[in-house]
Amino acid sequence: MTPPDSLRNLGVRVTTHGGELRVWSENADAIDLCIFDATDPNWIVKTVPMVKDAHGVWVGRSRTLSAGRRYGIRVSGPTGPQHSFHPEKTLIEPYSRGLVRVGPDQWQSYVVDDTFDWAGSSKPKIALDHTVVYEAHVRGLTNLNPSVPAHLRGTYAGLAHESTIGYLKNLGVTSIELLPVQAFVSERRLIKQGLTNYWGYNTFNFFTPHADYATQSSQAAGPEAVLREFKGMVKLLHEAGLEVILDVVYNHTAEEGPNGPVSSLRGIDNAAYYRQNSAGAYIDLTGCGNTLNVSHDVPRRLVLDSLRYWANDLQIDGFRFDLAATLARDEHVEFQQDSPLLTAIQDDPELADVKLIAEPWDIGMGGWQTGNFPGGWTEWNDRYRDRMRSFWLTDLAAARDGHAGSGIGRFATRLAGSANTFSQERGPLASLNFITAHDGFTIADLTSYNVKHNVGNGESNRDGTDSNNSFNHGAEGPTRDKAILTVRRKAMRNLLATLLLSAGVPMITAGDEFGRSQRGNNNAYCHDSELTWLNWDLDDWQVDLHRVTRRLLQLRRENPALRPVWFGRPGETTLSASQMDWYNIEGKSMSEDDWHSSNERTLQYLAASTPEHEEFNRILLIVQGREEDVTVTLPVHEGVTSYTLLWDSSHDDLSDTVIEHAPGDQYLVPGASMQLLRAH
């Protein structure tokens, strides 16, 4: 017989007999439920002493606790180095579905009526090998878009507007990944500087949509209207066949370091919720002041319940876990692949169809864990990012100075799915490939700046990474030099083509499809301004780059050989894998010297699908990593009678003319370029 779940139904449950609040605290001496007047935020109309059960769950009931009510809790307990009880403070209840700001630094929980008519809409459930992630910011995506009505710009409703959805569908992405939308606040340091936490990685509550991203009318109407607008956004995106993935921050909270604000978990049970030593010193694995202690059952349950709520009640399709290595650390702060939280997420039937994406590092000991997450997870592949940037940017910069860069071998490994990082059992779809992300240079800035330009962040240019693997091609920042502009734009095409023609799951950063710049700022987390919002007034070259991105996404869809699910095994037929053959500049099979020589910068990659769900397909991808033109001999391969050119990065676009070549033909490849051909 299954024992009763002692942590069931935490938070508020409303029935015909009134409301019940359940809050866990092991160390509290007393907890009071405070219910506030509907109009006066300072007037407590009812105080209910809560009763503790044998499992540390405090329960309070009141008929007054009903939909539309604001409430909070006051918690008292012992003093000591690990405790931070402040019975004079009204705290946010951790499972709050709604929040109301009642002062500059004051919030109250809100009981929402969460009824919503989904009208039969359902999750698209896009297969991982067909998935293309588009990382975007709710406000930044539409705040300057003239196609979106002014009152909807920068909001959930603006993201779901027909023009936004039409743009995403036309581009060809399948899944929009939103930077944090769980309620967050700006750090006190930023507020003092007159800045703001634009990205949102400072979560205040794990269950409430961030109200500032709702329309003014929804904000004025209250938390229920904000929640409805969020659900309405998800519903409309789903009806268009687009998935919604959320970037979630469960590794730390907005309560900052031990001297930070006491707003929720710290005042409820600091000793249990945050990692600390016996002296009460916080163990900070995140660089944000605190670390949620998911080695403890209750914080771990808080994360699981939050995921279930967003995945089921709000119909979210997937999650990208910020600093996910932190979530896999045990009580000794060591990374464990089979940690209780990772295992619970994987095994939870309520999360069975959810996409799981890990940022596989943190700042603790052994923090870089790329490739070490369990099956069922896709990981941000920083090694892919660095290798591809180096090949197309810093290697070419080094070559201009007479130095050899990296050869073709390590590039090919990443192109084919990073088998040296991800196990045979996990396959190439364990790799989330990216060239850029919200954190770092945009793709345009990678080709325009050698160093970061972050002075506007207020930290004397100390913040943000110095390891960008970027190349300005001869001028730092904006230039009118046509030769430099031409080579920069080709570099962008090469980077986008590499991303979208690689095995694995690609992620595009919003705006990279048309070359958005942040003026060299590689850490623009604190700028809610035109620096970070997408500018939809495009120059001609940006329109060309957008067309190129659309074409590349079309080619990815149409050629399953580019999208293997599994790694092939020598001498075996593996369904949904691609048979890969590698040729050098002479059209001969790559030798060991070819693979390992730093001077070898040209590769021909012949990939044939092993059909399981789609028709047979074979492509040839030519990669030429030198700035001078070269002539290659197209490979002679059994079953191949001709090659048709589909795309060439040395041009903004190709005409409709069909260009055919035969195996064994001599083929002139322009400097620093890629060509995709279909093999017949």
Beta bridge partners of 282: 276
Enumerate residues 6+ apart whose C-beta is below 8 A from 460.
none
Handedness of CA 118, 120, 123, 124 (dihedral sign): negative
Tokens at 322, concatenated? 């910020």
Active site residue 26: no
CA-to-CA distance for 65 and 61, rounded, in angstroms?
A: 8
State the Cα–Cα distance between residues 678 and 344, nearest whole angstrom.
Answer: 44
CA gap 376, 356 in Å, rounded: 7
Please give the sequence-ordered ranges of beta strands (E in DSSP) within 312-434, or none if there are none: 318-321, 355-358, 378-380, 431-434
Rounded to an integer, what is the distance from CA 382 to the centroid of its chain?
13
For residue 540, indicate whether it is catalytic: no
Find out whether 602 and 649 touch, Cβ atoms under 8 Å.
no
Please list, residue by residue across 178-192, b when 16 or more beta carbons sit within 10 angstroms of its beta carbon and e when fewer do: bbbbbbbbbbeebee
Pairing between β-strand 175-178 and β-strand 133-136 as defined by DSSP bridges: parallel
Beta-strand relationship, 243-248 and 175-178: parallel
Give Cβ neighbours of residue 223 (< 8 Å, ≥ 6 apart): 97, 98, 99, 100, 110, 112, 208, 211
Q: Residues with Cβ < 8 Å from 316, sequence gap 6 or more? A: 234, 244, 245, 246, 310, 354
CB of 376 closer than 8 Å to CB of 346: yes
Report residue 171 as tokens: 């581009």
Chain centre distance of CA 481: 35
562: number of CA atoms within 13 Å, CB side? Answer: 26
Residue 362: alpha-carbon gap to chain centroid: 15
The CA dihedral of 229, 231, 233, 234, to the nearest 10 degrees, is 170
The answer to whether 407 and 601 have CB atoms below 8 angstroms apart is yes
Residue appearing with tokens 């990939």: 607
Catalytic residue among 32, 93, 247, 322: 322
Pairing type for strands 602-609 and 378-380 reads unpaired
Q: Judge contact between 22 and 57, C-beta under 8 A.
A: yes
Catalytic pick among 359, 512, 513, 648: 359
Structure tokens belonging to residue 136: 């975007």
List the one residue out of 130, 70, 62 whose CA is nearest residue 96: 70
Strand partners, 379: 358, 431
What is the rounded CA–CA span in Å between residue 125 and residue 354?
Answer: 9
Alpha-carbon span 364 to 670, nearest angstrom: 45
Please tell me what DSSP assigns to residue 591. Answer: P
Residue 100, beta-bridge partner list: 108
Positions marked catalytic? 322, 359
